[in-house]
């Protein structure tokens, strides 16, 4: 296998993807420009992918698999490369979300990841990772967007999000970005599998102010937790700790507005951002 032999002593899914593309292109006796014409993408884009400087989009990976008849190779390598950009402490959540029958989330200052739009995630990641290249930011956004595939399962998980009002008030990406983000929240709230509540400022202090919490429950009733604070997180499996975290989540849920009132509050923020956007 070719997962060795990189200049720094190890290869990555990103560099393997680039090398496989170059080898297949050369085996087909195609220049980068010729291949770009056949698949309909700029040759400069393909060049960056070959050099490992940028990951292909999902659409490009699928088109490369179709063109070279590689049976999903590029899509699989893209998925591996996107997963590699996720911190170790986040992998448990990624795996857990894919299997969970119920996902319960509390966020103290941001829109939860599974409810974020591409623009919102891009603005957030670009600012929170100073010095990261635009390609690196785009890779991380793509990895976050790929998590939404859990909603496309034949039997999607029940998803319950409690969002602190601060997440609505803070204009991540500006008014236009927030308008799109809040419209997406309202659209997601229409799903019978999704519940969204807002914990308003008027409630004052609450037991989950220090970070975010995800509770993932499998079909057999087993629950694991994931608690996150600034730039770090931990998986929680101890029954005693899970009970403590579940109790905190339940208290926060009891303090939140009911769904109808939450959606009314969300709509009020939407109107405010729309006015700001038009001014």
CATH no. for residue 71? 1.10.260.40
| pLDDT reported for residue 5 | 36
Q: What length does the chain have? A: 279
| pLDDT reported for residue 144 | 86
| pLDDT reported for residue 15 | 87
Among 59, 83, 107, identify where a domain stops: 83
| pLDDT reported for residue 56 | 87
Number of domains, the chain: 2
| Judgement on whether residues 131 and 227 belong to the same structural domain of the protein | yes
| Judgement on whether residues 108 and 239 belong to the same structural domain of the protein | yes
pTM: 0.74
pLDDT along the chain (279 residues), means of 10: 40 86 94 94 91 86 94 87 64 77 93 96 90 80 87 93 96 96 97 96 88 90 82 75 92 96 98 90
| pLDDT reported for residue 13 | 81
State residue 267 phi and psi, 5-degree precision: -65, -35
Find the CATH number of the domain harbouring 113: 3.30.870
| Structural domain for 25, as ranges | 13-83
| pLDDT reported for residue 9 | 47
For residues 263 and 182, give the distance between their C-alpha atoms in angstroms, rounded to a whole number. Answer: 10
| pLDDT reported for residue 81 | 79
CB-count exposure of residue 62 (10 Å: 0-12, 13-18, 19+): middle
| Judgement on whether residues 224 and 210 belong to the same structural domain of the protein | yes
| pLDDT reported for residue 76 | 87
DSSP string of 26-62, one letter each residue: HHTT--HHHHHHHHTS-HHHHHHHHTTSSPPPHHHHH
| Judgement on whether residues 268 and 141 belong to the same structural domain of the protein | yes
Tell me whether strands 158-164 and 223-229 are parallel, antiparallel or unpaired.
unpaired
Among 38, 58, 83, identify where a domain stops: 83
DSSP string of the chain, one letter each residue: --S---TTS---HHHHHHHHHHHHHHHTT--HHHHHHHHTS-HHHHHHHHTTSSPPPHHHHHHHHHHHT-TTHHHHHHHHHHHHTS-HHHHHHHHHHHH-SEEEEEESSS--GGG--HHHHHHHHHHHSTT--HHHHHHHHHHHHHGGGGGGSSSPPEEEEEEEHHHHHS-TT-HHHHHHHHHHHHHHTTSTTEEEEEE-GGG---TTTTSEEEEEE-TTS-EEEEEEETTEEEEE--HHHHHHHHHHHHHHHHHSPPHHHHHHHHHHHHHHHHHHHH-
| pLDDT reported for residue 215 | 94
Please say whether the beta carbons of 214 and 103 come within 8 A.
Answer: yes
| pLDDT reported for residue 227 | 84
| Judgement on whether residues 23 and 154 belong to the same structural domain of the protein | no
Please say whether the beta carbons of 81 and 73 come within 8 A.
Answer: no
Please say whether the beta carbons of 189 and 162 come within 8 A.
Answer: no
């Amino acid at each position: 296998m070719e997962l060795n032999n990189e200049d720094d002593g190890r290869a990555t899914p990103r560099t393997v993807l680039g090398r496989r593309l170059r080898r297949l292109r050369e085996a087909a006796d195609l220049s980068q420009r010729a291949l770009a014409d056949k698949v309909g993408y700029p040759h400069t884009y393909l060049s960056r992918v070959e050099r490992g400087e940028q990951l292909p989009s999902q659409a490009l990976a699928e088109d490369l698999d179709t063109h070279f008849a590689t049976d999903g190779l590029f899509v699989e390598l893209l998925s591996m490369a996107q997963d590699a950009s996720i911190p170790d402490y986040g992998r448990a959540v990624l795996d857990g979300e894919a299997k969970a029958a119920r996902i319960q989330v509390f966020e103290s200052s941001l829109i939860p990841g599974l409810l974020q739009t591409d623009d919102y995630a891009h603005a957030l990641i670009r600012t929170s990772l100073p010095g990261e290249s635009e390609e690196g930011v785009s890779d991380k956004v793509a990895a976050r967007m790929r998590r939404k595939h859990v909603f496309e399962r034949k039997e999607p998980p029940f998803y319950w999000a409690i969002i602190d009002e601060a997440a609505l008030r803070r204009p991540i990406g500006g008014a236009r970005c927030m308008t799109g983000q809040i419209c997406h929240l309202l659209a997601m709230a229409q799903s019978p599998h999704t519940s969204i509540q807002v914990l308003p400022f008027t409630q004052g202090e609450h037991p989950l102010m220090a970070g975010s919490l995800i509770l993932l429950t499998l079909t057999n009733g087993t629950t694991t937790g994931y608690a996150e604070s600034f730039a770090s997180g931990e998986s929680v499996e101890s029954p005693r700790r899970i009970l403590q975290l579940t109790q905190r989540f339940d208290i926060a849920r009891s303090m939140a507005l009911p769904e109808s009132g939450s959606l009314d509050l969300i709509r009020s923020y939407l109107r405010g951002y729309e006015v700001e956007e038009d001014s």
